[in-house]
Amino acid sequence: LASRAFHPLDTIVRVGQVEVGGEQPPVIIAGPCSVESLEGILEIARAVKQAGAHMLRGGAFKPRSSPYSFQGLGELGLKYLARAREETGLPVVSEVMEIEALPMMVEYVDVLQIGARNMQNFPLLKAVGKTDKPVLLKRGLSATIEEWLMSAEYILSAGNPNVILCERGIRTFETYTRNTLDLNAVPVVRHLSHLPVIVDPSHGVGKWQYVTAMARAGIAAGAHGLIVEVHQNPAEALSDGQQSLTLENFANMMEEVQAIASAM
């Protein structure tokens, strides 16, 4: 079902007024790694909207490598995201980590994010496939493109046609950057599948200094959008501050990305 052989025309995933895929202009999703406070998420939401973002991201349930790291605000974080949507009109994207949390997530979010660590959590994929929410499916840390598309297949075959793929970098021998952003995947996925594919330069490189360059590259490679981590004070962020753009850096990134998009 994910294959272009089955479905030659590009799928366009609609999230409220926003359309992702096909020949639509790139869709930019921006926001903090984790929702930390109401004031924080409102400040970020206003700023990214002003800079031209189309959706707001923010984790409420976080898959942290250490159990002692900040795990997210849980339902309170979802309430804060909903408040930010109310004020700005931006649809919200947040990660669902387990089936038990799905009924709650569906009440608050516009797009369900499946994180890299859950790309092959097949029961979770089937469960989001039974909802009517669009799904942002991140590529696993060590997943091949074929495995990633088969994970999309789980969601589609459960009855949900609205899957957005997200390249977020893979593990390689290189350790200078957090991951290696596999931009090869963008044209490959566009060739193999009709589903939209976006790029996450933040997790792809892991250092904010390189995020804008890879955001530009992702759009130039043909991605249907970007998901970018933005924080009002990255040095104090509770997660992924080292890869988060400031509000000002994000606004500059948007100008550069829009220049590339309009030249294509």
Nearer to Mn ion, 190 or 231 (CB): 231
Tell which one of 33, 92, 145, 223 touches ligand PEP (CB under 6 A): 33
Which residues, other chains included, contact 38 with Cβ-Cβ below 8 Å and sequence gap of 6+?
80, 83
Does position 72 interact with ligand PEP (CB under 6 A)? The reply is no
Rounded distance, CA 251 to CA 54, Å?
Answer: 13
CB nearest ligand PEP: which residue? 115
- Interacting partner of 63 out of Mn ion, ligand PEP, none (Cβ under 5 to 8 A depending on kind): ligand PEP
Instruction: Rule CB under 5 A: choose which of 95, 167, 200, 240 binds Mn ion.
Output: 240
Q: Tell me whether residue 1 or residue 101 sits nearer to ligand PEP (CB atom).
A: 101
Q: How would you write the chain as a 3-class SS string? A: CCECCCCCCCCCEEECCEEECCCCCCEEEEECCECCCHHHHHHHHHHHHHCCCCEEECECCCCCCCCCCCCCCCHHHHHHHHHHHHHHCCCEEEECCCHHHHHHHHHHCCEEEECHHHCCCHHHHHHHHCCCCCEEEECCCCCCHHHHHHHHHHHHHCCCCCEEEEECCECCCCCCCCCECCCCHHHHHHHHECCCEEECHHHHHCCHHHHHHHHHHHHHCCCCEEEEEECCCHHHCCCCHHHCECHHHHHHHHHHHHHHHHHC
168 sits near ligand PEP (criterion: CB under 6 A): yes
Interface mask toward ligand PEP for 211-230; x: CB under 6 A: --------------------
- Which of 33, 96, 116, 253 is close enough to bind Mn ion by CB under 5 A? 33
Stretch touching ligand PEP by CB under 6 A, among 36-44, 114-122, 242-250, 254-262: 114-122
From the list ligand PEP, Mn ion, none, pick the one residue 216 interacts with, judged by a Cβ distance below 5 to 8 Å according to partner type.
none
Answer yes or no: are the C-beta atoms of 47 and 59 closer than 8 Å.
Answer: no
**To the nearest whole angstrom, how small is the minimum distance from the Cβ of residue 229 to Mn ion?**
6
In the complex, minimum distance from the CB of residue 59 to ligand PEP, in angstroms, rounded to a whole number: 5
* Contact flag: residue 44 with ligand PEP (CB under 6 A): no
115, 218, 225, 234: residue in contact with ligand PEP (rule CB under 6 A): 115
Span of 30-38, 77-85, 150-158, 184-192 interacting with Mn ion by CB under 5 A: 30-38
Positions that interact with ligand PEP (CB under 6 A): 33, 59, 63, 115-117, 138, 168, 203
Positions that interact with Mn ion (CB under 5 A): 33, 240
